[in-house]
């Protein structure tokens, strides 16, 4: 992640109110809806302030359209998640997060599609992806994107049930991760909240919490790396 940025990680093993959520009405509605929908017993949050290079500072009141479009095209580039690494607490070493990640045309047909590229971010968008996670296996996810004047949001939801080996871990639709990206003129505020209704936390609460925390950091590293290389490299 870009040097000089600031990262905070928070995890809870109960359906408590998020502690790091920025005060944004659209985000609050999304988070409240997810909590009411799945009644999570695991919540992991991450908050990161990405500092733009000085040449890319813009007005904090209105997100520069070219920058916003560039950022949006990075967060729909789901194939670039293939091969990203995260720190495995159980193995005490780096491990591949997604062995495979690609957009597909739908959860039934599963035909691969190229990452889309937009000249103008759509107000809303739904994509499906096939992602092979070395912890939870080969699964289908739905990604719902929403754009507002100064923010972009997307929610990842598991379409298939997630298993930890042969052990059922999280039922269909019971893992929802939201990423909210806010333009602040001289910086970009990135908020991640992963909420899950796990089948059982007996003896696995800390393991699940640590895993989600490390994965949140991996997603942040992926996103900020894309911003470094594709948007703010000059």
pLDDT digits (tens, 9 = 90+) for 187-212: 999 999 999 888 766 555 566 667 77
What pairing do the DSSP bridges indicate for beta strands 42-51 and 137-148? Answer: unpaired
Mark the ranges of the chain whose per-residue pLDDT is less than 50. 3
Per-chain mean pLDDT for the chain: 89
Residue 80 inside a domain? The answer is yes
Residue 72 inside a domain? The answer is yes
Residue 129 inside a domain? The answer is yes
> What domain count does the chain have?
1
Torsion of CA 161, 137, 218, 222, to 10 degrees: -100
Q: What is the pLDDT of residue 230?
A: 94
Residue 1 inside a domain? The answer is no
Interaxial angle between packed helices 65-75 and 205-226, expressed in degrees from 0 to 180 and rounded to the nearest 10: 130
Q: Is 110 left (phi over 0), alpha (psi -120 to 50) or beta?
A: left
Sequence-distant (≥ 6) Cβ neighbours of residue 198 within 8 angstroms:
41, 42, 169, 170, 174, 204, 208
Domain that holds residue 220: 6-231
On whether the CB atoms of residues 27 and 21 are closer than 8 A, the answer is yes
Query: Residue 133's domain is classified under what CATH number?
Result: 3.30.530.20
């Amino acid at each position: 992640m870009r040097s000089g940025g600031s990262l905070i990680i928070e995890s809870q093993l109960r359906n408590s109110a998020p502690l790091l959520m920025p005060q944004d009405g659209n985000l609050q509605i999304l988070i409240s809806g997810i909590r009411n929908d799945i009644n999570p017993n695991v919540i992991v949050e991450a908050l990161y302030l990405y500092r733009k290079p000085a040449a890319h500072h813009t007005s904090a009141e209105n997100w520069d359209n070219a920058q916003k479009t560039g950022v949006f095209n990075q967060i729909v580039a789901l194939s670039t998640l293939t091969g990203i690494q995260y720190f495995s607490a159980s193995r005490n070493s780096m491990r591949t997060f997604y062995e495979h990640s690609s957009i597909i045309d739908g959860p039934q047909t599963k035909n691969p599609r190229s990452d889309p590229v937009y000249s103008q971010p759509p107000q809303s968008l739904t994509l499906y992806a096939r992602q092979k996670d070395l912890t939870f296996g080969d699964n289908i996810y739905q990604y719902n994107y929403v754009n507002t004047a100064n923010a972009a949001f997307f929610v990842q939801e598991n379409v298939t049930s997630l298993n930890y080996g042969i052990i059922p871990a999280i039922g269909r639709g019971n893992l929802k991760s939201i990423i909210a990206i806010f333009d602040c003129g001289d910086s970009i505020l990135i908020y991640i909240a992963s909420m899950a209704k796990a089948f059982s936390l007996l003896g696995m609460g800390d393991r699940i919490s640590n895993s989600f925390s490390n994965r949140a950091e991996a997603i942040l590293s992926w996103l900020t790396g894309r911003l470094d290389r594709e948007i703010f490299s000059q």
